[in-house]
Amino acid sequence: MAWRVTKGQGAPEREPVLTRAAALAQQVGESPQRFAVLWGLWSFRNTGAECQAAQAVAEQLFDLAKRQHDPAMLLRAHDALAASLYNVGAFAPARTHWEQGIALDDPQRHATPDTIPGSTRNYGLDCRSHLALVLWTLGYPDQAVQRGQEALTMAQALAHPFSLVNALILSARLHCCRREWQTAQAHAEAMLALATEHGFARYAARGAFVRGAVLVAQGQGAEGIAQMRQGLAALRATESAVGMPFYLAQLAAAYGQVGQMDEGIHLVAEALAMVDTTGAHQWEAELHRLHGELLLQQTVPEAPAAETCFQQALDIARRQQAKSLELRAATSLSRLWRHQGKRATAYDLLAPVYGWFTEGFDTPDLQEAKALLAALS
């Protein structure tokens, strides 16, 4: 666990230790120690974006926890299985498992990180932080903020820096998704200071990356991209592959904002190749949409190829029930069709997607969709 906290969950030093521990745990049989080892294997496979292998271990964790009749174990198993499902793009089942984990959490009983061997944070808090992200993806932006704030409030009440660092970076990511850059910056700066103080290298890299993305959004493109690249290099060094498509997408979008389309397209291609090899599909729809936007922003726009990208993004988002990503894809495709004179077709595509939403109308995504519908009508 020392390697995990100081060098990251995917630190290569962990693999031989975990492999040996797994062999010993197989001899011991069912015990809290076996659960801890399986969780260590899951975190290693998950961080390395070995998505199918990680999900298989998470299912073993879940089965073991149910047999042990231990609420703390079961809470932690729900968290692991939900994370694996989220990574492969199964957002609705991931939401269910995180909500079931929260239902098992007793804030009084778990006022500090649980005492299962190998624990480094409060898993009721972890479920709340991640639930916020999946709620945004599923199309509930305001409920996502409520859950994220609940997690931050809990984390601030704990005298446990690692739990607070984790809650802060997930909250920063949520506000990046909502395109609320000032809030994202505040959370990233707080997390970065805490991570640097305690030597949490992987989290410091995440904070630096988010801070760079905020600078780009604020018009400081060169400086922001430099910080994003620095953070990305540090994340690669810690073998943190599971979230890499998200980070590559953010950097690609930043290059698009400063007019370097070729760099952005190259990063999107790298990210999509990683999706194919790892099975980490959680950001796949947005990658295709971003690819289309970059193709349209080239000196010579490639409208047919961009339209194909937007349609791919729509199909994936619909299959995943990812309403926020579906809205973005529908907005991009409708905007293209409007430019091509297909106003009625564009309206018919976007109107029902926008009409599905019941909250989040102050967010940029929904405001842009509303303005486009007004122009189309």
The residue to which tokens 């979008």 are assigned: 253
Crossing angle, helix 261-278 and helix 244-257, to 10 degrees?
170
Contact between 69 and 88 under an 8 Å Cβ cutoff? The reply is no
Of the candidates 198, 205, 186, the residue with the CA atom closest to the CA atom of residue 244: 205
Residue ranges covered by each domain of the chain:
270-377
For residues 231 and 209, the answer to whether their CB atoms sit within 8 Å is yes
**Treating both helix axes as pointing N-terminal to C-terminal, what angle do 32-47 and 51-68 enclose, rounded to 10 degrees?**
160
Distances (CA, A) of 249 to 73, 135, 217, 268, 366: 35, 20, 14, 6, 21
CA distance between the termini of the chain:
58
pLDDT by residue for the chain (377 residues), tens only, comes to 787 777 766 677 888 888 888 888 888 776 678 888 888 888 888 888 789 989 999 999 999 999 888 898 999 999 999 999 999 999 999 999 999 999 998 766 544 444 444 445 688 999 999 999 999 999 999 999 999 999 999 999 887 888 899 999 999 999 999 999 999 999 999 999 998 898 887 788 888 999 999 999 999 999 999 999 999 998 887 666 778 999 999 999 999 999 999 999 999 999 999 999 999 999 999 999 999 999 999 999 999 999 999 999 999 999 999 999 999 999 999 999 999 999 999 999 999 999 999 999 999 999 999 999 999 99
E strands within 99-247?
A: none
For 115, residues 6+ apart whose C-beta sits below 8 A from its C-beta are 72
Query: Could you tell me the fold of the domain covering 270-377?
Result: 1.25.40
Helix (H, G, I), strand (E, B) or coil at 181: helix
